[in-house]
Amino acid sequence: MKLIVGLGNPGREYVGTRHNVGFEVLDRLAMKVGLISGAAEFDRVARSNFEGLALDGPVSLDGGRQERFMLLKPLTFMNLSGRSVQSAKAFYQLSDADLMIVLDDLALPCGKIRLRANGSSGGHNGLRDIERALGTAGYSRLRVGIDSKPDRVPQKDYVLGRFSDEQRKRVDPAIDRAAEAILTWAGQGIVAAMNRFNAEAESGEPKRDA
């Protein structure tokens, strides 16, 4: 089983905000692999579990192999995300290699994604709490760029605000690529996913498979 966790805050007032882009990636991934038929249905059909909304099922990967996916949206608010992640990971006795965290990143431009096999929290409250709860930073993470905050705008106000129309035009394709990157990670591993999608982020062009 692969555990894919999208970070965000619960509640209608946070839908579409920059800090909730991790939730949007899970919506898109669930549609892409056929676990739901519409983004709005994730929250309706998912079950309450692990202090979050959980949706799971078999997913077909390249080469005909199937892998069970657990998609999890913690409902603990961002700075307590670790409780939900730790609970799900421990219940299924998953290794760090089976865990992917999807989050927003102020250091990346909108339209860019970046994968890492491990690393620091980079100041992200959700990632910091996950590292605290798990006692390790040795799990994969996929960052989706939300642009750096404008001068004189408090960071909290910026991340809890909604994308501008211009940003939305760039972030929607990035959400699609993030879903593709997760499938590559699940089927081929983090190195293959990094080699393909981080290269795209640097060049600005999709990397074609050989």
Listed in sequence order, the DSSP H helices in the chain are 21-32, 41-45, 81-91, 125-134, 155-159, 165-188, 190-193, 199-203
CB 106 within 8 A of CB 155: yes
User: Are the C-beta atoms of 105 and 171 separated by less than 8 Å?
Assistant: no
Show the tokens assigned to 14. Answer: 């946070």
Catalytic residue among 19, 28, 143, 196: 19
Q: Is 124 a catalytic residue?
A: no
The CA distance from 24 to 158, in Å, is 18
Catalytic residue ranges:
19
